[in-house]
Amino acid sequence: MKSPIFAANWKMHHGPSDATTFMRSFLAHSPRRSDRTVLIFPPALSVAAVVASLHERQDVLVGVQNIHWEDKGAFTGEVSAGIARDAGARVALVGHSERRHVFGETDEETALKCAAAARAGLTPMLCVGELLSEREAGETAAVVLRQLHAGLSRLEPGQLTSLAIAYEPVWAIGTGKTATPDDAATVHAVLRKALRELAGERGAKVPILYGGSVNRGNVSELLAARDVDGVLVGGASLDATGWSAIVGS
Ligand code: 13P
């Protein structure tokens, strides 16, 4: 994935019909660019609609917001990495803060999911981020490092370079409170150092995205911050015109 990476997390918005309408408008407003990566995480049931709308635009990548860690079996309601890959996804979000804090996903589950994604040929995008109380207690670096090491613990050494990290401070998600570019750069530097220690210079090249109340007004200054290789956008990615403007920043 070429940096900067512009990733849209639609969360539980845009069913297949809306997704098709969105993509028509977005593609009309966003010419192909070779100097960046555009990635869309629709709800699982809308992945096929987004993939179908991209038949002439292989430059836009599609991902899933979550996967199960088993390859197949009696897990009603779940989607495996292999099924996601077969549907056209290339990336899997793992450990998004809503998975952790609304659905109780554990560090161990994020490790299993990263391994399952890699096994199926999907790029895992591991999300890390601290709660407001953890930030106020001075624990930000310890929390994101724990999540990083745990989440990557089941990857083979050779898989440690085919991944992405998203730093999303929980207090900045959907709240309108954005980390300052300096806040983001500080945490990204901690993550970069850890990735270098884990996998050398190739590990240091793993893209690290920032997410949390990113919008048209703040995207450029966040992308200009040191060690910020992209953005993961929730609310501001839901409108095709607004998302085109962000991607064109
Ligand atoms: P918002 O951009 O709505 O704050 O959401 C961020 C996010 O969770 C992206 O994964």
Pocket lining for ligand 1, CB < 6 angstroms: 9, 96, 168, 173-174, 211-214, 232-236
Q: What is the DSSP letter of 164?
A: E
Which sign does the torsion angle of CA 126, 14, 211, 29 carry?
positive
What's the CA gap between 178 and 174, in Å, rounded? 9
State the DSSP H helix or E strand holding residue 222, giving kind and residue range, or none if neither. Answer: helix 219-224
| pLDDT tens, residue by residue, 206-216 | 999 999 999 99
pLDDT of residue 49: 97
pLDDT of residue 94: 98
pLDDT at 56 over 90: no
Identify any residues that bridge with 40 across adjacent strands, giving them in sequence order: 8, 62
**Which residue has the CA at smallest separation from atom 2 of ligand 1?**
234
pLDDT of residue 199: 96
| pLDDT tens, residue by residue, 93-140 | 999 999 999 999 999 999 999 999 999 999 999 999 999 999 999 999
Residue 142 Cα to ligand 1 midpoint, Å, equals 22
What's the mean per-residue pLDDT of the chain? 97
Q: Reduce the DSSP state of residue 215 to 3 states and report it.
A: coil
pLDDT of residue 237: 98
Question: Best substitution site from 94, 233, 237, 243 to test ligand 1's pocket, by max atoms within 8 Å of Cβ?
Answer: 233
Residue 218 Cα to ligand 1 midpoint, Å, equals 13
What predicted TM-score, i.e. pTM, was given to this entire model?
A: 0.97
Residue 153 Cα to ligand 1 midpoint, Å, equals 26
237 CA: nearest ligand 1 atom: 2
What's the CA gap between 46 and 25, in Å, rounded? 16
| pLDDT tens, residue by residue, 150-206 | 999 999 999 999 999 999 999 999 898 889 999 999 999 999 999 999 999 999 999
